[in-house]
A and B are shown apart, each in its own frame.
Chain A
């Protein structure tokens, strides 16, 4: 049964200059097979120039809740954004 093979998450770099992006998952017996399956499954039409596969079990994730207090530290720091600062209109290039 395929579920005896671990689940891998697949990340593909579409072209040079772009980040790897998560595209889906697959099952494979080992890392090398996971790469081959990822190529066959997710890049049949030149959708990628580089693939990362990682065992789903090895991923550590934050809680799915976007309002989670985990993200609170960035919530009240408006001064991290350029719009926080008033600069007169007659100052150019800023």
Chain B
């Protein structure tokens, strides 16, 4: 059986592709692109929330936020680990991110202006991420699917801590309630953009679905997210900032207004409110850590030599 045929049969039988299996070059590059972009999103995604760690209003909130941001670092590392099984080099991926040659989710280019943003990110941004990620647990590439299973287990804490934070604020003063509503107003539309361009304009969707690396289209997942979120917003007592949002009994789904795709394109192409800051911060962290990485490597070498000469 030809290698190509075997690959296609594995996919057709819903079996997983594993490291070192022969795969078409295009599958490999698609997976590396997807996984790297996902890993970068987790790592860059630490910044907007990390912004509030030192100013969290209580020790309890600070401990929770630290744990959440640490989880995102972990998610990034699980994913870099999966990308490496395809022959990608971790250091190179970081360099591509810093050089702007690989993307990350557009959502993290928006600023976190108040502490309510921490709650709204957990609720909406992690909520949207869960919608995206749950089907990826069945992605055809084994290491990616397994990383997604670990990640999904941890995301539930992220969403719940955010929602609980918002419930607490909604029980507070009128100013606090207003702060929550204002944060929801800013994050709602960017959250819907997290699912990517509409199916008609999505260049990668068809091939990714055929290879079963993706299981649903962008629009399907976006609709699912809207339907899940509407009752949560009601329970919280906030309004989602879309006058066209309403239940459509015939479709069995909520209708919602047109997304500003021009804004999405601007943010994706580097002109969002925080793009430059996010990448500069990542670069500074990487550069500032260079001496630590070098020192640890030198120490390990020295110990190794000492043990060799003693033996």
Contacts and interface: CB of A to CB of B under 8 A. Distances in A.
A23 B81 CA distance: 10
Contacts of B294: 4
Given A41-B77, A64-B20, A33 B296 contact: yes
Nearest to B294: A4
A69 to B, nearest CB: 14
B233 interface: no
A45 B150 CA distance: 11
A92 to B, nearest CB: 40
Nearest to A64: B20
A44 B157 CA distance: 13
Name the prevailing secondary structure of the A interface residues.
mixed
B293 A24 contact: no
B300 interface: yes
A30 to B, nearest CB: 4
B92 A5 contact: no
A49 to B, nearest CB: 18
A3 B300 contact: no
Given A2-B91, A3-B90, A29 B299 contact: yes
A2 to B, nearest CB: 5
* B interface bracket (residues with beta carbon within 8 Å of A): 20 to 34
* Residue among A3, A33, A64 having the largest count of chain B Cβ atoms under 10 Å: A3
B71 A44 contact: yes
Interface residues of A, number: 21
Contacts of A30: 296, 299-300, 303-304
B21 interface: yes
Interface string B87-104: 001111011000000000
B32 to A, nearest CB: 15
B77 A5 contact: no
B14 interface: no
A27 B90 contact: yes
A2 B81 contact: no
A29 B77 contact: no
Contacts of A53: none
Interface string A8-31: 000000000000000111110110
Contacts of B150: 23
B21 A64 contact: yes
A1 interface: yes
Contact of A29 (B71, B94, B300): B300
Contact of A2 (B18, B20, B147, B293): B293
Interface string B53-69: 00000000000000100
5 contacts: A4-B294, A23-B150, A27-B90, A41-B74, A44-B74
Which A-B residue pairs are the 7 nearest by beta carbons? Answer: A1-B91, A3-B91, A29-B296, A64-B20, A30-B300, A29-B300, A25-B81
